[in-house]
């Protein structure tokens, strides 16, 4: 260990001001002439450990190893984010906590899980686990009321829900160290995000009641399409009609009927206007006009399709 380097007490980025790297000898030599500015490649907070390591290397003086960087006042942390927080280089997640605390007063558990995922992706909390533990009960209330799941099963359900939201934003829950090693998401990962989202859709009572209000032509179409779905037979249907003749009314009744029987219905549209009037519909980018497309899927299997 070079005594002069130790006495300098410089940071990792300041080191090149005093020493020069000799590639042929693979060693540092005391700088004798010229000046140099040390730089460290930038890192974004979404990069996790790499970001926090970079922050530590710009602050910690005279580091000797990765273990040394993660140690402060005799306490060795398990990861760089914890060391950064322990050393006081980061502010606590008070703003995220206040946001979740306020939202918990009027948001449903499902919405809380979505908000939590959004905070993870866009506000980069320093300690995601602490936020999760603080608001786990709030995000689990709907499952807890069922009285048929254990605490462990409820935790898995909520984490799966959060993971679904994260995946819709291009992230994964494994990046935030929220899942204990004892929990496996293998079965969940085998399903698409769209299917998991569809399973959680709340069915409107008005849409269910609409089935009994269909006119003769609507009932005929409803019966033909439903029979194909429930008999596991493929079918493609095009419903034509002028604006205001009840096409959307029929679509909503079909969606409610299929979803109420534990089937999965994926509703897609070709325009933003149509998306806004169908429950939980997704826009399908195709060069088609005045056409609504349904995909009715039995038990998450692409067996029955309605177009």
pLDDT the model gives residue 50 = 81
Whether residues 210 and 282 fall in one domain: yes
The answer to the question of residue 198 being in a domain is: no
Whether residues 286 and 217 fall in one domain: yes
Whether residues 20 and 71 fall in one domain: yes
Whether residues 64 and 104 fall in one domain: no
The answer to the question of residue 150 being in a domain is: yes
Whether residues 129 and 184 fall in one domain: yes
The answer to the question of residue 200 being in a domain is: no
**Inter-residue contact 128 to 85 (CB < 8 Å):** no
The answer to the question of residue 199 being in a domain is: no
Residue-wise burial string across 54-73, b where 16 or more C-beta atoms lie within 10 A, e elsewhere:
bbbbebbeebeeeeebbbbe
Q: What is the mean pLDDT of residues 224-237?
A: 85
pLDDT the model gives residue 11 = 78
Q: In the numeric block, which tokens belong to residue 112?
A: 């809380």
Highest mean pLDDT among 33-42, 49-58, 82-91, 260-269: 49-58
The answer to the question of residue 267 being in a domain is: yes
Dist CA 179 CA 163 (whole Å): 10
The answer to the question of residue 302 being in a domain is: no
**Within its chain, how far is the Cα of 233 from the centroid?**
35
pLDDT the model gives residue 139 = 94
- Whether residue 207 has pLDDT greater than 90: no
Whether residues 65 and 116 fall in one domain: no
Task: Give the domain range for residue 264.
Answer: 205-297
How many domains, in total, are found in the chain? 3
- Whether residue 255 has pLDDT greater than 90: no
pLDDT the model gives residue 288 = 33
Dist CA 230 CA 299 (whole Å): 11
- Whether residue 205 has pLDDT greater than 70: yes
Highest mean pLDDT among 7-21, 84-98, 202-216, 293-307: 202-216
Whether residues 100 and 174 fall in one domain: yes
Q: In the numeric block, which tokens belong to residue 60?
A: 């910690």
The answer to the question of residue 303 being in a domain is: no
pLDDT the model gives residue 134 = 92
Which has more pLDDT, 158 or 271?
158
- Whether residue 154 has pLDDT greater than 70: yes
Query: Which pLDDT band, with edges at 50, 70 and 90, does 304 fall under?
Result: very low
- Whether residue 287 has pLDDT greater than 70: no
Whether residues 15 and 58 fall in one domain: yes
**Within its chain, how far is the Cα of 136 from the centroid?**
16
The answer to the question of residue 197 being in a domain is: no
Query: Domain ends where: 51, 86, 121?
Result: 86
Whether residues 58 and 123 fall in one domain: no
Query: Which pLDDT band, with edges at 50, 70 and 90, does 21 fall under?
Result: confident
Whether residues 154 and 177 fall in one domain: yes
Whether residues 148 and 61 fall in one domain: no
Query: Domain ends where: 86, 117, 134?
Result: 86
Whether residues 220 and 283 fall in one domain: yes
């Amino acid at each position: 260990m070079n005594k002069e380097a130790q006495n300098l007490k410089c940071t990792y980025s300041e080191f090149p001001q005093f020493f020069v790297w000799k590639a042929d000898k693979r060693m540092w030599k005391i700088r004798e002439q010229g000046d140099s500015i040390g730089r460290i490649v930038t890192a974004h907070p979404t990069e996790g450990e790499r970001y926090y390591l970079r922050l530590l290397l710009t602050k910690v003086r005279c580091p000797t190893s990765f273990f040394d960087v993660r140690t402060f006042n005799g306490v060795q942390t398990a990861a760089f984010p914890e060391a950064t927080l322990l050393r006081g280089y980061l502010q606590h997640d008070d703003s995220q906590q206040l946001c979740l605390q306020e939202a918990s007063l009027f948001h449903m558990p499902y919405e809380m899980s979505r908000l939590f995922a959004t905070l993870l992706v866009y506000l980069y909390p320093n300690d995601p686990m602490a936020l999760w533990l603080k608001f786990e009960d709030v995000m689990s209330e709907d499952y807890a009321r069922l009285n048929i799941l254990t605490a462990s099963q409820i935790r898995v359900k909520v984490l799966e829900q959060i993971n679904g939201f994260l995946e819709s934003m291009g992230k994964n829950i494994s990046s935030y160290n929220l899942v204990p090693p004892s929990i496996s998401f293998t079965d969940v990962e085998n399903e698409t995000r769209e299917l998991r989202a569809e399973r959680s859709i709340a069915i409107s009572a008005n849409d269910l009641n609409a089935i009994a209000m269909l006119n003769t032509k609507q009932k005929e179409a409803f019966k033909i399409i439903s029979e194909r779905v429930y008999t596991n037979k493929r079918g493609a249907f095009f419903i034509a009609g002028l604006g205001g003749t009840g096409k959307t009314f029929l679509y909503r009744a079909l969606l409610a009927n299929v979803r109420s029987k534990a089937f999965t219905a994926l509703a897609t549209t070709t325009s933003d206007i149509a998306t806004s009037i169908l429950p939980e519909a997704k826009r399908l980018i195709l060069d088609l006009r005045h056409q609504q497309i349904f995909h009715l899927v039995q038990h998450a299997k692409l067996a029955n399709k309605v177009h």
